[in-house]
Amino acid sequence: MENQSIIEESLLKLKEQGMKYTKKREALITFFARCNRYISAREVHEYMSDIFPGISYDTIYRNLHDFSDFEILEETELNGEMKFRIHCRCQGHIGHHHHFICTVCGKTREIYMCPMDYFKEQLVGCEIEGHRFEILGRCEECSQIS
């Protein structure tokens, strides 16, 4: 899905959730749609501060969590820090999948195999309510740097 339609759909989702359109929210979504990787709130704040001087870190952080609640962004913890990326559903990925996440640059790759079948065999009688599976490592570019 192209970036402009990701941005438009995300802004529509915000409106459906009762959030007002602002240039700051559009810039935030545009940044994530363009980057398509996991990004820390600190990095988002640095980017947004260049465009909107004086924007508070709290405002950024609150919007990131709201966007995550509305499934515009996904979140994960990497190296002890919360990071966010545009939600896979916003990019047209509908099927069940998991991610490889680069611990250096935050780039992700979808993995369309789920290990839950193996675990279900070992958890007979248990009711699994959800799961999350991420593989962490260095992408091709970052593994050549070290």
- The enclosing domain of 68 has a CATH number of 1.10.10.10
Q: Are residues 102 and 81 in the same domain?
A: no
Q: Are residues 31 and 87 in the same domain?
A: yes
Q: Are residues 76 and 108 in the same domain?
A: no
Residue 66 confidence (pLDDT) = 94
Name the residue with higher pLDDT: 2 or 111. Answer: 111
Predicted confidence (pLDDT) per residue in 92-107, tens digit: 555 677 888 888 888 8
Q: Are residues 87 and 102 in the same domain?
A: no
Q: What is the C-alpha to C-alpha distance for residues 89 and 99, in angstroms, rounded to an integer?
A: 13
For CA atoms 54, 47, 92, 4, give the dihedral sign. Answer: positive
Supply the range of the domain harboring residue 141.
98-145
- CATH for 116: 3.30.1490.190
Name the residue with higher pLDDT: 28 or 6. Answer: 28
Residue 47 confidence (pLDDT) = 97
Q: Are residues 7 and 46 in the same domain?
A: yes
User: In sequence order, what DSSP letters do the residues of 85-106 get, joined into one string?
Assistant: EE-GGGGT--S--EEEEETTT-
Residue 20 confidence (pLDDT) = 92
Q: Are residues 84 and 103 in the same domain?
A: no
Residue 129 confidence (pLDDT) = 84
- pLDDT-derived band at 91 (thresholds 50, 70, 90) equals low
Q: Are residues 115 and 50 in the same domain?
A: no
Q: Are residues 108 and 65 in the same domain?
A: no
How many domains is the chain built from?
2
Helix (H) or strand (E) holding 45: helix 41-51
Give the end of a domain, one of 49, 68, 91.
91
